[in-house]
Structure 1
Amino acid sequence: MTFWQLAVHLFNFALPALAMALFMPLAGRWVMGPGRTGLRRRMAVQALSGLVVLAGGLLLHGQDGKMSTYIALVLVAATTEWLMQRGWATQ
């Protein structure tokens, strides 16, 4: 495997988590309003938690791209955004 093939594989592995990290804070801001946590920090936390979920799914299933991993990614991203937006305190 060449360096470029490895880079493409790693990018494609991380792309769902990075896409969720980009869109979830914007969706959370749209639905719940601006939170106390800054947008960049929320994106960074979303990216880190998403990559952890994808790596956990890879270790658990032995392959990437399982639907249960993507479901877990969406649930973790929504829960993380709700926690950072302090969803329990909003009216």
Structure 2
Amino acid sequence: MTFWQLMLHFLGFVMPALAMAVFMPLAGRWVMGPGGSSWGRRMGLHALSGVLVLVAGLWVQGQDGKMNTYIVLVLTAATLEWVLNKAWKRR
């Protein structure tokens, strides 16, 4: 396997987490309104937590791309956005 193929495999593995990292701050602002931490911090935390979920799913299930892992990824991203927005303090 060449370095280029290795990078493509790695990007294919982390792409769902990176896509969630970009779109969750937008969704959080749309659903819960502005507030909480900055855009860059949110994206970084979402990317980190998403990659950790994907690695944990690979480790636990033994293969990549299982729907259970993607469900946990979405739930983790939504919960993290809720925490970053401090939504429990609202209303």
| TM-score, L = length of structure 1 | 0.97
**What does residue 19 of structure 2 align with?**
19
Q: Give structure 1 regions of 4+ aligned residues with deviation exceeding 6 angstroms.
A: none
Structure 1 residues 60-75: aligned runs within 5 Å: 60-75=60-75
**What does residue 41 of structure 1 align with?**
41
Count of aligned pairs: 91
Q: Secondary structure at the match of 1:88?
A: helix
Q: CA deviation at 1:52?
A: 0.2
Structure 1 residues 68-83: aligned runs within 5 Å: 68-83=68-83
| TM-score, L = length of structure 2 | 0.97
Deviations along 1:6-59, one digit per CA (max 9) or x if unpaired, are: 000000000000000000011001111111200110010000000000000000
Q: CA deviation at 1:87?
A: 1.1
Q: Which runs of 5+ in 2 are unaligned?
A: none
Q: What is the CA–CA distance in structure 1 between the aligned matches of 2:76 and 2:90, rounded to whole Å? A: 20
Q: What is the CA–CA distance in structure 2 between the aligned matches of 1:70 and 1:36, rounded to whole Å? A: 26
Q: What is the CA–CA distance in structure 1 between the aligned matches of 2:64 and 2:35, rounded to whole Å? A: 33
Identity score, percent = 62
Q: What is the CA–CA distance in structure 2 between the aligned matches of 1:35 and 1:59, rounded to whole Å? A: 35
- Root-mean-square deviation (CA, aligned residues, Å) is 0.6
Q: What is the CA–CA distance in structure 2 between the aligned matches of 1:5 and 1:61, rounded to whole Å? A: 24
Output the amino acid matched with 2:9. H
Q: What is the CA–CA distance in structure 1 between the aligned matches of 2:78 and 2:88, rounded to whole Å? A: 13
Q: CA deviation at 1:60?
A: 0.4
Q: Which runs of 5+ in 1 are unaligned?
A: none
